[in-house]
Amino acid sequence: MGTIESIKRKIITKIRERRNKRLLFEMIGYKPAVAYPSFLIKGVNHIQSLKKLDDFSLNYENEEWICHVNGLSFAINSTEELLILEEVFINGIYNVEVNHSFVFIDIGMNVGITSLFFANKPTCKKVVAFEPFQPTLAFARKNFSKNNIAYKIQMNEVGLGYPPRTLKINYSEESKGSVGINGVASYIGMKKDIREEQLPIIDVFETLKNIVDEKIILKIDCEGSEYEILERLNDTNLLPRFDVIMIEWHIKGAASLQKILFENNFEILSMGEHNTDIGMLYAFKK
């Protein structure tokens, strides 16, 4: 019986792959000289969504797959990056608009998609970004090299948190946006490309205390460190100096983060607070 079910799954997988390859050909508009990689085949639904944009294309250029989105260019090598592009440019998860100049602080820069999204805004004076993993940083540098607006981005090769320490954790390039202090996020599932990487963490307060003399939009997406970051900013009385805070929380829920934000006179929009793994908090200073 198990063999029959296994055969059925293989047939369904093959049918889905053929369908997705056909869709890719239709969306890209030409057949590249190389086979479609598995991450594109798996990410067809995200590409279909991105095609809604007036300015979007996906091309094979200089032995890389490049997404051109709203005047920006991104090299991609995982389905996860297609998902993030969809979240940022279609779903608008970070589409906060302000009518004054501001500095954007990106804790958990990953491959630089959100940093470039904000750097491209005329009212953004500069981006201060933090990413601790060397393989991820290498890919972010590649993305920055493709965009003239990247001169606005100050990249810091560390993670933020408290206390300062260096951890050795499991890392996956396929899911590099889902790696944090606990390694690859448990809700991602098993990955074949797991390897050990160092995660250097420095004191979030000592790092940010001299930056917040401007209007600040703060994004925290660091796969578990958000709790220690917010606690440290609260304990050092730095939290009220931010104007807008966007947090993607993981595993431990939103309640403790909401409590801290309320105590610091922020108004909150909470999305997915009943989820067990992940959700979003948006906080605005009154």
Q: What tens digit of pLDDT does each residue of 20-33 get?
A: 777 787 777 767 76
Domain annotation covers residue 275: yes
**Same-domain pairing of 111 and 41:** no
178 and 78 in a single domain? The answer is no
Q: What is the tally of structural domains in the chain?
A: 2
Domain containing residue 39: 2-83
Together in a domain, 173 and 226: yes
Strands 165-172 and 159-161: unpaired
For residues 46 and 146, state if they share a domain.
Answer: no
Q: What is the mean pLDDT of the chain?
A: 90
Point out which residues pair with 103 in neighbouring strands. Answer: 126, 216
Q: How far apart are the first and last CA of the chain?
A: 62
Type of residue at 207:
T
Residue 96 maps to a domain: no
Buried b (16+ CB within 10 A) or exposed e, 7-19: eeeeeeeeeeeee
Domain boundary among 17, 48, 83: 83
Contact 99, 88 (CB under 8 A): no
Instruction: Please indicate, yes or no, if residue 163 is contained in any of the structural domains.
Output: yes
How much is the average pLDDT of 192-212? 91
- Asked, for residue 90, whether it belongs to a domain, the answer is no
Which of 55, 83, 111 is the last residue in one of the domains?
A: 83
Inter-residue contact 233 to 204 (CB < 8 Å): yes
Name the domain boundary from 17, 52, 83: 83
Give the residue from 136, 100, 135 showing the smallest Cα distance to 115: 136
Q: Looking at residue 141, what is its pLDDT?
A: 97
Most confident of 142-151, 170-179, 207-216: 142-151
Omega prior to 163 cis, within 30 of 0: yes
Size of the chain, expressed as the number of residues it contains: 286
Whether residue 168 sits in one domain with residue 256: yes
Residue 14 has pLDDT above 80, yes or no: no
Whether 39 and 143 map to the same domain: the answer is no
Prediction pTM value:
0.91
Residue at 232 is within a domain: yes
- Both tokens of 3, joined, read 């063999």
Residues 37, 164, single domain; the answer is no
pLDDT tier at 183 (50, 70, 90 boundaries)?
A: confident
Same domain, 253 and 190: yes
**Per mean pLDDT, which range of 183-192, 214-223, 272-281 is the poorest?**
183-192
8 A C-beta contact, residue 156 and residue 201: no
Three-state DSSP at 183 gives strand
> Where does the pLDDT of residue 36 fall: very low under 50, low under 70, confident under 90, or very high at 90 and above?
confident
Q: Mark whether 59 and 184 lie in a shared domain.
A: no
Residue 190 CA to residue 6 CA, distance in Å, equals: 19
